[in-house]
Structure 1
């Protein structure tokens, strides 16, 4: 099961002509792929004036989420908010914490990592203590984009300012180093983590062992495992055989399904962001007769997406197909939803095209997820246009479309 947490190569775009012909509704929607979250834009200086308030007051930033639609307009507003933040902090004032944190997230999503890092620094300069989630999110995104050195510098700077780093953040660094072939440096980081009193977890060792296997082969990976166990790590699988026996006996007495019980446990773990224990449980349960169904795989896919492990979620499909398992439509819907909720609607469209090329027919749920994903990216005009086309082609019910119009304040549908 360790192979399920490997990263995969970037998604190769399938032929757009084949997919659009198969799915039907794309052909008449202009510029459906016109927006991209990763394009860089020219730095635009703030044009509006800021009223200077007493230094103890909290100053707000211009709302970069409100205004004319379009990627370029959104990027201009995002940059405008960043330079307002710079001005506020330079003058010794404190910005609104929630706004500054959201700005950090949105800069990361737009691949503006230097600006996002600078936002974190400015928050500290102004006396704000960043929450652990935003700190970990920034480090994780720096590592995913290959900026490991910057991520490590950020961690060092945060620690110098008295901000504690937890195991999750260090795991992002370990994983980033392992992904880029720096196993030795990863092992040094592990020693530093333990020296600080932090306890490595299953994720830490999983990243290291897979990196050792890739770089040095199975024998070296086994040696590393022996060394790790010698340092005191004992993999804990929750006494699965005993648990399975007890649950099976209870299930027989109550005429309930053991399969449904464990499927529910795996689903619950994934919903709470504990996907790795869910994989561990699944792996052990298969030894005792548990056969995962398609909906169990959907839970695992959603769980990986919740934790931001999009490449790993996509990797599941490759592994399943290699083992002669044909995913169902719900599996693809789970993946598309996960990418949309992670702010990568652009990639979810690629998955949609791949799905259609493989012979799957999208259902109303598929289309609903895509429209909602576009609307969440503040592309409301495009969302409304797609929605009208879906109605015209009779692949979505009118009451569903009207719900989306009301929910996302889209342009009214034609009568």
Structure 2
């Protein structure tokens, strides 16, 4: 074992996790038995030709089960050699399974382990995992260890993680050391199913096994998902020292994680490391960086990266433009936002509903109602608007500027366009009416809100109680309460 390998093992050996306590289905594996041989007088060629004939019949005849025996009355379809040839001849494993079930129901047929293993393996090769699981459960046969390892991998890929762990533990109980590919598939399945506890339980058992790039990828992803981004970065650096490059996804995961916690020094290091290892950051990665910087009020740094994209040969797409525009709007720099807006349109990128709502929200914050209405009308002309997002953006914005009547007009139009108001819609209007001392309208909407089974917010409730000048006990007696 290499020195780097030892480091990677010790890196996680002391991570304390609970041991699993899962009941395992009792499975055992026996070695292949030889199928019974046909009589010497039978020719293997005849079985091959018959298998091709039956395969053609099954593809072309809908009710082949009812006529196959009558078409070939003297042929023994239950002969194990024929079934083996049919498996080779069929290009559709589900047809082979179909024939197998027909054979078992019409003949006193007991397939041997070779045929069963071949059919089970064919199901796994065809990614027919649920069919393979049903086949294993109904026949009760004992697959070979190599097929069980393949079964573990297929179950994990299908998202059947607990079943995969169950079979993996069976192999372990049999004293069989699963390959690194099998181990990694189980770990990756746990990650996809968001079962971090199960991931670390299994990894603790696998700590002596071989490490490869896929294992490093799984470990860093698990660390990032668990909030240990810095630890994931340390593992990346150690893996790279041993030549284990986990690939672009891991770099993106670390960059996203560092953006979320505001650690831009490490984010920048990961980005440079990624490029040094010949992984060119995708536009998605740059979008995550720009978004993270803007969320942490670092719009200038985000804009520097945005501008440098062009020098690096990138063409920012609509998502990146909208992300930067939103960052400017959040900062109140609407002039810069509008400049990027028109630049985006000039380059042939048509703003979508989300982009329009970003601009509408930004101009509402500045109180520029005329520009809000201009953007809103343009959005409607371009086929957007009339959705929950756009309606709520307009209603909340109008209500925050003392224009509850305009907001209510949009509310009334929602039903005409097939948009059902939600709790956000009602609570915004209730607060807006109360802010303008239109308490009766607010109270009517409150009762409508409760009748629909929606939950009023604490702020909407407080606004009504305050404007009605009543105590909580009086409000409760009038069925005015927050849920």
Q: Taking CA–CA contacts closer than 8 Å with sequence separation of 6 or more, which of the two structures ends up with the larger relative contact order? A: 1
Q: Which has the higher helix share?
A: 2
Q: TM-score range by the shorter chain?
A: 0.3 to 0.5
Determine which structure has more spread, i.e. the larger CA radius of gyration: 2
